[in-house]
Structure 1
Amino acid sequence: MAVQLGFYVNQSRCAGCNACFMACKDKNDLDDERAFRRVWESRSGAFQESGNGLTHTVKAAWLSLSCNHCDDPKCVTSCPTGAMKKNKEDGVVWADVKICRGVQFCIKECPYGAPQLNKKTFRISKCDMCADLREKGEEPACVAACPYGNIEIGPIDELRKKYGNIAVVEGLPDPSITKPNLVITPHK
């Protein structure tokens, strides 16, 4: 493989605006049941009575997440038709809709929920890092849409040098399962 592409997501600055989610849905013409990129919300805390009135430990955080184009993609290894593929040039995992028969093993095996079933065509599709846009020298729709610049795409080795090696936050699966090509700056 020439280079492995990955995503960097700065969760610490994400405001949960969903611009990345909507840009991806619009660009890929996805129906309401499918989303290649999702914004996950986590909330915790409570208001508590104290000597000075109410205090709180309330916090909320968002994480923009799509396919992580894993080193060990369970969607690829579980696909009986060979429709799920990992590109040798850039490591992007993609679905060949011409071969797909809608078996859905990829959906069951992906711990990130990346493969999505199109119920009209009964074929699987998923994030391909906007291969068509990248081919024209443009950024993926989610990257271009983020008003805070919280999503980056690039060679994963470079992203890890720049931002570190964190690939898991609360609620995500253990990265040892698939070895995701993802770097996160977590919310504090």
Structure 2
Amino acid sequence: MPKMGFYYNQSACTGCKTCQVACKDKNDNEIGILFRHVRDFQVGSYPKANMYHYAGTCNHCEMPACVANCPTEAMYIDDEDGTVQYDNSKCDGCQVCVTACPYAVPQYIESLNVVRKCDACKALRENGEQPACVAACPMRALEFGPIDELIAAHPDAVKDIVILPDSETTSPCTIIDAKAAALEGEPEEVYL
């Protein structure tokens, strides 16, 4: 099976957070734990201010820092689809993966003393469904599939936007149809 990944159309995203809520609900996450998060940014100032949203989750990187730094091998790359998965039975709660990930994706769940993160809804996909975030998006701003096919279908999509670390560090399998404001300037996170 080919390496899987996400496509995110920033121009279609309205910042409604439906993907975030669907993910939280599907994973029954505690308060404060998000595997997908929607953040809002402003570039410039009035009267020439621009705004954009970023809906981020695990990028299922080709060279994931969480996997490379996990001392117990609880974080691993799935042999079948190349997504980054975790094994709670091996996790000792050390949180090395949390600090290693440049995208701040893995989440420490104190009540369970384990780290979890987006698994690209592996159980749903095994039943022929899409990840919860993709299925829930009312604007169809998210897609999931073989990353090579997503790149071919969206040739203008990029891996790097201003708010994210350089993609050469981990080679993320998320591509973004970015707004111009997300590619330049000094963004300020705003809270809507």
TM range (shorter): over 0.9
Shift of 1:88: 1.0
List per-residue Cα deviations over 1:145-164 (Å, max 9, x = no partner): 10000000000000001112
RMSD: 0.9
Query: Does the Cα contact within 8 Å between 2:12 and 2:140 map onto a contact in 1?
Result: no
Q: Which amino acid aligns with 1:122?
A: N
**CA contact 2:88–2:115 (8 Å) conserved in 1:** yes
1:157 corresponds to which residue? 148
Q: Which residue among 116, 134, 148 is the counterpart of 1:125? A: 116
Residues 56-135 of structure 1 mapped to structure 2, 5 A cutoff: 56-135=47-126
Larger Rg over CA atoms: 1
- What count of residue pairs does the alignment treat as equivalent? 179
Give a deviation string over 1:21-44, Cα, whole Å, max 9, x none: 000000000112211101121112
% identical equivalent positions: 43
Determine the C-alpha separation between the residues in 1 that align with 2:44 and 2:147.
34
Determine helix, strand or coil for the equivalent of 2:111.
Answer: coil
Q: Deviations over 1:62-103 (max 9, x none)?
A: 011100000000000100001001001100101100110011
Please give the secondary structure, in 2, of the residue aligned with 1:152.
strand
Structure 2: distance between partners of 1:4 and 1:44: 34
Matched, 1:9 2:8: yes
AA in 1 matched with 2:73: G
Unaligned runs of 5+ in 2: 181-192
Cα deviation, residue 45, structure 1:
2.1
1:160 aligns to what SS in structure 2? helix
* TM-score, scaled relative to structure 1: 0.93
For residue 100 of structure 1, what is the amino acid of its counterpart?
C
Q: What residue is the counterpart of 1:53 in the other structure?
A: none
Q: 2:189 matched to which residue of 1?
A: none
Q: Is the 8 A contact 1:13 1:187 kept in 2?
A: no
Q: Is the 8 A contact 2:134 2:144 kept in 1?
A: yes
TM-score, normalised by the number of residues in structure 2:
0.91
Q: 2-side partners of 1:92 and 1:149: how far apart? A: 22
